Structure 1
Amino acid sequence: MSVVSKLTQGVELPKMVKIKQNFDRSHISEEKIPQVVYDQLQREEIKLQIKPGMKVAITCGSRGIANINIIIKAIVDFVKQCQGQPFVIPAMGSHGGATPEGQKQILNDYGVTEEFLDCPVISSMETKQIGSTAEGHPVLIDKHAAEADAIIVCGRIKAHTAFQGSYESGLMKMMTIGLGKQHGAEVTHEAGFGKMAHLVPLFGNAIRKNANIICGLGIIENAFDQTYKLIGLTNEEILEKEPELLLEAKRMMGRILFESADVLIVDKIGKNCSGDGMDPNVSGRFGTPYASGGIQSERVVVLDLTNETHGNANGIGMADITTQRLVDKMNLEITYPNAITSTLINMVKIPLYLKTDKEAIRLALKTCNHADKLNSRIVRIQDTMHLEYIYISEAMLEEATRNPDIEVVGKPEKWPFDEEGNLHL
């Protein structure tokens, strides 16, 4: 038995109880999405700007958005109905290895293909200067978008993971960093996330004024990653209405319905769950001091990586303890560039890691300075995307029963460790 095993052997873990967290399930069904997109874009303020024969660039980002291929195709079809000539461009800063092929492959993986859309997908890292910001910064955007007759910006509006402001992840950021390609990503990230809340609208407004942005289509998802709202916005409405849509998006997002715990256990992290591996708006662990929220816990344990993340362990640096299994799965060639581009190298620091899940969880509780070890408060989640069913320790049951949005659906049970001390994740 190792020294660490001996140190953790005497730690008693509390029984855990399965609960159901109830969130708003309102959403737009897949078959209704094309009509909703059409209804949003057929307003005269938008529709009449598309003239016959116009070349119209439509943006598509790198995040995994529900039904994104259906949404983009609906925009393409709308432009065709207006007798325009649509084409889609990847708008994702430096993602996809900052190569045209890599960015197009990301869209292919989401089903956003030329065959499905029946229109060109033009991927390029070339940019063209279209003007300057109010503070004199040169503003560059995708060359093909800059040379198009019109641009429709499509993107999800949601809370950012590293900064807070009136505009976070959304259409303004899509223009600033997405359309800005590698240049836009570098300018904003090099300034640091402390400046991001200022730079996103600064560059976004310059792009709105100097490029032919005729409209935007904002997407909001519910706590179950379903399409909750699709809203068409004119150029001016992007500036005016995105802040209130961001607040709505924050109200709809999934979260842990407890303010605090001694230990938070996250079964898996990955880029398919969040750009940060685990969404800090849920976990409470942010990579910068410019954002806050989520559950507050003294220790965070991450047990494994998702298969979909392909070894990208970005976000593991926000954990206190992890496992040998996760470290063995890390692909540093994929993980490190992510942190270098964002400049948040703390996101990929490898925390203390142990051989088994049991040792990792026991050590987390053992090293809590403020926990009542006989009545410890532990929360366990699958990942930060799936929050309907989670597990809490017995000490949290009374609080759970007082919350009308929580149902207790299980009974107190011991941890289901196998003979080797691991959980079946």
Structure 2
Amino acid sequence: MEFPDRDVVASLLDAQPLPSFVRVDHDPSSTTLSEPTTHVRDALARLDLDSLAPGARVAVGVGSRGIHRIDEYAATVVTALTERGFDPVVVPAMGSHGGATAEGQRETLASLGVTETRVGAPIDARMDVERVDEVRVGETSYPVFVASAALDADGVVVINRVKPHTNFSGRIESGLCKMLVAGLGKQRGASAFHATALTEGYVPALEAAFAAISSAVPLVGGIALVENADEETAHVEALSGAELLDREPALLARASEEMATLPVDDIDLLVVDELGKDVSGAGMDTNVIGRYRVLNAPDPDTPRIKLIYARGLTDRTEGNGNGIGLADLTRRVAVDQLDFQKTYANALTSGSLAKAKLPVVAPDDELALRIALSALGSPAPETVRVVWIHDTQELGELFVSSGVVDDLPDTATVTGEVALAFDDGTARFDPR
């Protein structure tokens, strides 16, 4: 893919004076569990495992999200099940992620530290599914699929974080229910769910499919995790299959209170160093950036961000650049990191095509910033509102332009002035 040379792009732009920046520590109050693996073990013990016979095969569903200490939690669950005399097997519950291939899903788990050696159990990454029912939602009927690996088991336990979803809002969003419907549905199940959700609504589609799945699958329950603004575990809770639909809304409300947010709502330019599936299902958390870009789903009211510049992808996303379309601007380095097979598999399954679009591609950081400032109308450097973050999970340390400083909340502390400099067009911040 060819893009205009640097000299060509530079010739189209006037010189743009850059704002001055400061480093900021943002530390809203939060709860962090001590010994979280102990809480996971205790939560598992509260599930009804006595109904399973000795030696029963238990499928442990693990997804593709960058959940804090997920490798430890998966290993803890596997160990506890083994000690009870069961035969656990890890099943990737991630829909189409990993390029919708078994090897890709194994690689995605491995990037999160979840390997057979680490957790002490085999990983059954088959993409095979079985159609267990057809449900009607509004004017739409859609087939419900479940991974054969889950149906072959005697019991199913899923582990997932409950949090606001990146495509919609409702009483149930991202969590155990969605993992069972879209995650354990593999590519076919996730595709059928998303197609219906886009026309009939996400929550009705989730509820209808969950009812079918809970009847078809030997569902023991799940381990629900809630994380705080520091991406650490704030709460662990066991939910039986019968409790999932009723209990998840309360956990979602807590997750909303705990989640990380930007320190200000009105931003001219947000610069994001990295996006990826390990950061958010949408590459960038849409609740943090205020953009869903989904048909029939209005964007969040806040924050209000005029332009977003995404600089690159995380290593752990392994080329899946789903979410790059949420940005207005990127650079050539990010495009070179893209694996279009993985990105398109994700976008086509979810039906959220906008997230896979390529934004304007700049040769480097220096010209990207000049492009952004020009598009903003060349605001004065002392008034332009720029916020620079590593990713939408890591919001504890960030850089802001001088035009933002007076509006920082009490939870944000300026820790020093920095100078924005460039090495062959690549940005860096130097202490002053």
TM-score, normalised to structure 2, is: 0.88
Indicate yes or no: 2:363 matched with 1:355: yes
Preserved contact between residue 380 and residue 391 of structure 1 (Cα < 8 Å): yes
Match among 10, 21, 37 for residue 5 of structure 1:
10
Match of 1:185?
Answer: 190
- Please list, as runs of the form range in 1=range in 2, the aligned pairs for 1:244-283 lying within 5 A after superposition: 244-283=250-289
CA 1:363/1:210 → structure 2, altered by over 3 Å: closer, same or farther? same
Preserved contact between residue 130 and residue 211 of structure 1 (Cα < 8 Å): no
Report the alpha carbon displacement of residue 351 of structure 1 after superposing the two structures with TM.
2.0
CA 1:146/1:331 → structure 2, altered by over 3 Å: closer, same or farther? closer
- Please list, as runs of the form range in 1=range in 2, the aligned pairs for 1:95-244 lying within 5 A after superposition: 95-133=97-135, 137-194=142-199, 195-244=201-250
Rounded Cα–Cα distance in structure 2 between residues aligned with 1:354 and 1:81: 55
Report the alpha carbon displacement of residue 156 of structure 1 after superposing the two structures with TM.
1.5
Report SS of the residue matched to 1:304: coil
Indicate yes or no: 2:299 matched with 1:292: yes
Number of equivalent positions:
418
Preserved contact between residue 357 and residue 421 of structure 1 (Cα < 8 Å): yes
CA 1:54/1:204 → structure 2, altered by over 3 Å: closer, same or farther? same
Match of 2:36?
Answer: 33
Report SS of the residue matched to 2:48: helix
- Please list, as runs of the form range in 1=range in 2, the aligned pairs for 1:301-380 lying within 5 A after superposition: 301-368=309-376, 375-380=383-388
CA 1:127/1:2 → structure 2, altered by over 3 Å: closer, same or farther? closer
Rounded Cα–Cα distance in structure 1 between residues aligned with 2:350 and 2:248: 24
Q: Over aligned residues, Cα RMSD in angstroms?
A: 2.6
Match of 1:79?
Answer: 81
CA 1:370/1:193 → structure 2, altered by over 3 Å: closer, same or farther? farther
Preserved contact between residue 14 and residue 414 of structure 1 (Cα < 8 Å): no
CA 1:138/1:344 → structure 2, altered by over 3 Å: closer, same or farther? closer
Q: Deviations over 1:124-161 (max 9, x none)?
A: 22223444436564433122322332221221211211
Rounded Cα–Cα distance in structure 2 between residues aligned with 1:331 and 1:47: 41
Match among 369, 376, 390 for residue 382 of structure 1:
390
Preserved contact between residue 365 and residue 373 of structure 1 (Cα < 8 Å): no
Q: Which moved more, 1:256-265 or 1:47-56?
A: 47-56
Report the alpha carbon displacement of residue 90 of structure 1 after superposing the two structures with TM.
1.7
Preserved contact between residue 89 and residue 123 of structure 1 (Cα < 8 Å): yes
- Please list, as runs of the form range in 1=range in 2, the aligned pairs for 1:15-30 lying within 5 A after superposition: 15-29=20-34
Preserved contact between residue 301 and residue 321 of structure 1 (Cα < 8 Å): yes
Q: Which moved more, 1:94-103 or 1:234-243?
A: 94-103
Rounded Cα–Cα distance in structure 2 between residues aligned with 1:283 and 1:240: 29
Preserved contact between residue 144 and residue 192 of structure 2 (Cα < 8 Å): no
Rounded Cα–Cα distance in structure 2 between residues aligned with 1:101 and 1:268: 24
AA in 1 matched with 2:161: R
Preserved contact between residue 134 and residue 206 of structure 1 (Cα < 8 Å): no
Unpaired segments ≥5 residues, structure 2: 1-5
Match of 2:19?
Answer: 14
Unpaired segments ≥5 residues, structure 1: none
CA 1:200/1:215 → structure 2, altered by over 3 Å: closer, same or farther? same
CA 1:313/1:130 → structure 2, altered by over 3 Å: closer, same or farther? closer
Report the alpha carbon displacement of residue 372 of structure 1 after superposing the two structures with TM.
6.1
Q: Deviations over 1:177-204 (max 9, x none)?
A: 1221222112012235353232112111
Preserved contact between residue 265 and residue 301 of structure 1 (Cα < 8 Å): yes
TM-score, normalised to structure 1, is: 0.89
CA 1:317/1:122 → structure 2, altered by over 3 Å: closer, same or farther? closer
Match of 2:414?
Answer: 408
